[in-house]
Structure 1
């Protein structure tokens, strides 16, 4: 059992609702706080929400340094299985690295739908560190959010080992996108200073999903769940979920 103390406000949470579950996954160096607005709004609409905290996030740099990307994949798989215990439908939504993890999950299990927010298949600023082993920790800039009043709980630096794990995860996800057959909704910010918005187009073309669509977030940067377009995400996601639920009832 991991007894590491979680930064106040960065805790995972589970909100019990109806038989439609939503698994929410934050991004690299983020925490459930970064997607909490989405989770609370989903819960207000009656859905059961499981917002997970990925191992090593929202605790200490040393714990993050000790993780590998398989730990994060397992966190997402465990979160999905928890929802399946009580929910007949489960949708997954992930931001940035969380989007990559959502796609990895959807390629392995029968999700009722997958949604990504600026999903990461490439982070150009981290490519420099691909073959480096030092320095141990890399300084992080301010979160990429257009809204100056938004606050995200993050570390001010990240372990170089964690960057290596992220790079490996993105490569693995890209290589298995064709396995994704679930209905998919991709949110993307044309002005994203972390992940090239072309990543979302690449995902759109490579997944095997028959039902797929994209929604631009024209007034948000990378961390869109905390930015000006967060209500656009909510409205489109709920419409997507409701349409898939209706489709299953009609079939």
Structure 2
């Protein structure tokens, strides 16, 4: 049996990868597991949670999946991408998919554009309809400074492991991401040790890449990558473009 572990991002929930999970369930008979990291989910309770708690929770989910699955893939979104990378180094994962993985965070240019749009919507009386504002205002309010520090600690502690990744890896990044800048994908692509690596940029996608308008094409690419021997028939974007 094939198993697939999907890991959401910081202050997030399984909702962030839900469209991809639904697609994989529809087109495969894989066993798919989407854990909710400690302190995350519908109600954020991050106070007192350490970054090692997030890693340990994902590890336990992976080990349990490996009890019944001979082949296991790991998909990680945002902070979950860093956790997925860590797992790929320490466990016999066959393939790795990194979605908007947060090796770097905050894209000043795109974030400024997002803020400008929020300001315009405020003056128009339409802020209540701004999806970005509605999604992140609660997160900002309910995220303690200590949790942000733990997130930064996780990133700094896991980045050195990237060069130890030796399995086929597919990296995906939205060019309109205001949280994780495109340079994060390039950094990961250049740092990881494997020669079997692909990178794809989605021009109009923001941070929630699984919810972007081009997600069906993206999901097909991910399934193609995971289903073929090395994913070599994927569309490869030159790093020089």
Tell me the TM-score range normalised by the shorter chain.
Answer: 0.7 to 0.9
CA drift of 1:219 comes to 2.3
CA drift of 1:232 comes to 2.3
Paired residues for 1:21-170 under 5 Å: 21-45=3-27, 46-58=29-41, 60-61=43-44, 63-124=45-106, 155-157=139-141, 158-170=143-155
CA drift of 1:60 comes to 4.2
| Whole-angstrom distance in 2 between the partners of 1:124 and 1:192 | 9
Q: TM-score, normalised by structure 2?
A: 0.80
Question: Alpha-carbon deviations, 1:157-186, whole Å to 9, x = none?
Answer: 211111001101111121111111111000
Q: 2:187 aligns with which of 197, 202, 209?
A: 202
Contact residue 31 and residue 58 of structure 1 kept, 8 A: yes
Larger relative helix fraction: 2
Structure 1: 4+ residue segments shifted above 4 A? 148-154
Paired residues for 1:171-186 under 5 Å: 171-186=156-171
Contact residue 121 and residue 199 of structure 1 kept, 8 A: yes
| Whole-angstrom distance in 1 between the partners of 2:158 and 2:10 | 15
Question: Alpha-carbon deviations, 1:94-125, whole Å to 9, x = none?
Answer: 11101111111112112100001110012248
| Whole-angstrom distance in 1 between the partners of 2:89 and 2:96 | 10
Contact residue 104 and residue 183 of structure 2 kept, 8 A: no
Equivalenced residue count is: 209
CA drift of 1:83 comes to 1.2
Unaligned runs of 5+ residues in structure 2 are 109-117, 119-129, 233-241
| Whole-angstrom distance in 1 between the partners of 2:147 and 2:194 | 30
CA drift of 1:79 comes to 1.4
Contact residue 20 and residue 89 of structure 1 kept, 8 A: yes
| Whole-angstrom distance in 2 between the partners of 1:191 and 1:246 | 26
Unaligned runs of 5+ residues in structure 1 are 1-18, 127-141, 143-147
Q: TM-score, normalised by structure 1?
A: 0.76
Aligned residue for 1:22, secondary structure, equals: strand
